[in-house]
Amino acid sequence: MSAIRDFDCAVKHSEQMLPGVVRIVFDCAEIASAAFPGQFVQIEPSPDAFPVTRRPITINRLTKNGFELLFDVVGRGTELMAEMKPGDMVRVLGPLGIGWAIDPGSSWLLIGGGLGAAGFQFLMDSVVSATVLIGASSSDRVIPLEACHVVTEDGSLGGKGLVTALISEKLLDETDSIAVCGPVAMMEAVWNTIPEKHRDKVQVSTESRMGCGWGVCDGCSIPVSGGGYKKCCQEGPVFPGVEIDWKRWKEAGL
């Protein structure tokens, strides 16, 4: 494992992108030059004693001199992050984890559920060809991505339905790699929709309640097939779909 680095990064830009979804751009040339698609950073929401841990957020894209995060405001930590203003200095650890395994020249199918698509832009910017399928509960949970196919559960954007309906044999045949990210139930539904012969192409970006983010606390374990666990933060967050023990993962209810 390579050295980890902790930076004081300046907030460059902050805005509410969708209801309850915040976009923050940080300046940090070091993180930007070291990051790979699918990696994440650990943000310190406040310099105060609480919250006691950081918040792990996937890098959505690189910017000219830094990186951009998109996240849901779901609790005190992300509330504090939503209050960050341009010029604020924030402690950021990263980049962390293992991202998408990208073969040169490969064509990709990206399947996202709601805010799970936060992070896809960086991957799209790094591959030669990507088809994007997005499913969300409604239009205000859809991250705008170029040329993506969208369905929503309430029909407020794109067709009405679930993202699994967009997955076709033709798309699967034409693609070399499949990236999946979203809630566990959505990812499992996608996994079950993909026929056996295409499953080796699937990579999933996982999420877990995380402590350190750098492999020491064993808090963010993901159940893997054949028994046991792997660390979301260090051995993931991206895993081959075949490595996941879907039954135990669902049982964990992360």
Instruction: List interacting residues with other proteins (CB under 8 A).
Output: 1-4, 6, 44, 49-54, 76-77, 93, 208-212, 214-223, 227-229, 248, 251-254
Smallest gap from residue 15 Cβ to other proteins (A)? 26
Beta strands at 6-18 and 89-96: parallel, antiparallel or unpaired = antiparallel
CB of 252 to other proteins, least distance (A): 4
103 vs 251 by CB, closer to other proteins: 251
- Of 94 and 135, nearer to other proteins (C-beta) is 94
Minimum gap (Å) between residue 176 Cβ and other proteins: 31
If the CB atoms of residues 54 and 61 are measured against other proteins, the closer one turns out to be: 54
Give the N- to C-terminal CA distance of the chain in Å, as an integer. Answer: 26
| CB 25 to other proteins: min, Å | 23
Nearer to other proteins, 15 or 218 (CB): 218
